[in-house]
Amino acid sequence: MKAIRVGLIGHKFMGRAHTHAYTDLPLFFDPGVEVVKQVLCSNEPGVEAAARRWGWENWTLDWKKVVADPEVDLVDIAAPSAIHAEVAIAAARAGKHVFCEKPLALNLADAEKMVEEAKKAGVVTMIGFNYRRVPALALARQLIQEGEIGDIFHFRGCYQQGWLVDPGFPLAWRLRKAAAGYGSHGDLGAHVVDLARFLVGELQEVCCFQETFIRQRPKPEFEDGLVAKAGKEMGEVDVDDASAFLARFRGRKTMGYFEVTRYGNGHRNQNRIEINGSKGSLIFDMEKMNELEVYLGSDPANLQGFRRVQVGEGVHPYMANWFPAGHIIGYGDTFVNQAFDLITAIKEGKAASPDFLDGLKCQQVLEAADRSAHSRQWETVPAK
């Protein structure tokens, strides 16, 4: 295999992040195969200008042409959740490997179909839980797996953004159930649930409550990610603005606390994880992305306390491939790490991780929590 040719669907926030990944991958990693930006697709004007500026060889307004293109090996879906299932299933049936942004689908039924079709087609899949590729969180997992933290009592995940505090912020696609499936619960909650699975294990049951603080917002004239321009007409917000749930993990006594909000006033993208174990604790905060706070109970009595590990040394996950020690990396660079792992999996004919099954397991938790928010009861997460 000399080259892996990518068809990317989406040219806004995630389209930009994924283009950065494929463009800069060869600067830092050598997957042993060329990555070709074959075609950029979007259903909105501006895709041609973006393709020319970002170095895509072709562009189209029709995702079906990407899926049918014999030159495309990998279809990357970096568009709103509403089209994830239709595109991923068509791509798998066409024998393409498929990358899909999170959450996997609008709902559990679609997620199950995506897993089934990808399995039938025997293609490589990956879902965009890029925080697994933050070196500090990959280090946290290593420490946990090596037993440094001991038995885990608590997992605490709190993901705060603050972009909806302004009542004038428009009714962007992330605020509409038909386009996004969920509000903060799926958009941010998916990341926290995945990190709980990545760092600790599977969830067994959840108890959730949610809130929508502002129900009416101006419909957008323009939007790109978390930036939008309000129009004159008003529309209804039909998803959660914030969601919080308790969880029990399967087969262990670990207690889980999950909180996500778009009203964390003052926070821009604070994904914070804390884990307390019998031998120590770990704290990660995306606002200090290149650091991991580590407490080890085995430290001498006069040196007890959290140490702030600068996760930028060659010994740390991915960092041997980046700049010299201490020259930190950023949010977008986690997509480069992610793309390297995906391209390597495809080249070697191996499963990528996290794959669509991980996306489905995450969606099972999200749906159980959504059910709980309506039933006001504890709800069980399917074991299979």
* Closest separation in Å from C-beta 333 to ligand SOE: 13
Cβ proximity to ligand SOE, 185 vs 248, nearer residue: 185
* Closest separation in Å from C-beta 325 to ligand SOE: 26
What does residue 168 show for φ and ψ, rounded to 5 degrees? -85, -5
* Closest separation in Å from C-beta 262 to ligand SOE: 7
Residue sitting closest to ligand SOE (CB): 187
Cα(82)–Cα(58) distance, integer angstroms: 24
Cα(288)–Cα(300) distance, integer angstroms: 27
Cβ proximity to ligand SOE, 188 vs 247, nearer residue: 188
Instruction: From residue 128, give the alpha-carbon distance in Å to each of 111, 157, 304.
Output: 14, 18, 37
Cβ proximity to ligand SOE, 225 vs 235, nearer residue: 225
Q: Is 243 in the site for ligand SOE (CB under 6 A)?
A: no
Cα(260)–Cα(161) distance, integer angstroms: 8
Neighbours of 32 (CB within 10 A): 11
- Alpha-helical runs (H) found in 10-124: 13-28, 47-54, 63-68, 84-93, 108-121
- Say which residues have a Cβ less than 8 Å from residue 100's Cβ, sequence separation at least 6: 77, 84, 88, 114, 125, 126, 127, 128, 356, 359
* Closest separation in Å from C-beta 370 to ligand SOE: 18
Q: Is 161 in the site for ligand SOE (CB under 6 A)?
A: yes
Cβ proximity to ligand SOE, 188 vs 242, nearer residue: 188
Cβ proximity to ligand SOE, 296 vs 360, nearer residue: 360
Q: Which of 212, 269, 344, 353 binds ligand SOE (CB under 6 A)?
A: 269
Q: Is 65 exposed, middle or buried (0-12, 13-18, 19+ CB in 10 A)?
A: middle
Cβ proximity to ligand SOE, 267 vs 361, nearer residue: 267
Cα(333)–Cα(136) distance, integer angstroms: 13
Query: Going by DSSP bridges, is the β-strand pair 255-261/74-77 parallel, antiparallel, or unpaired?
Result: unpaired
Site string for ligand SOE, 190-229 (x = CB under 6 A): -----------------------------------xx---
Size, binding site for ligand SOE by CB under 6 A: 7
Q: Is 187 in the site for ligand SOE (CB under 6 A)?
A: yes
* Closest separation in Å from C-beta 187 to ligand SOE: 5
Check residue 298 and report its DSSP letter.
T
Q: Is 23 in the site for ligand SOE (CB under 6 A)?
A: no
Using CB under 6 A as the binding rule, the residues of this chain from 349 to 368 that contact ligand SOE are: none
What residues make contact with ligand SOE under the rule CB under 6 A?
Answer: 13, 161, 187-188, 225-226, 269
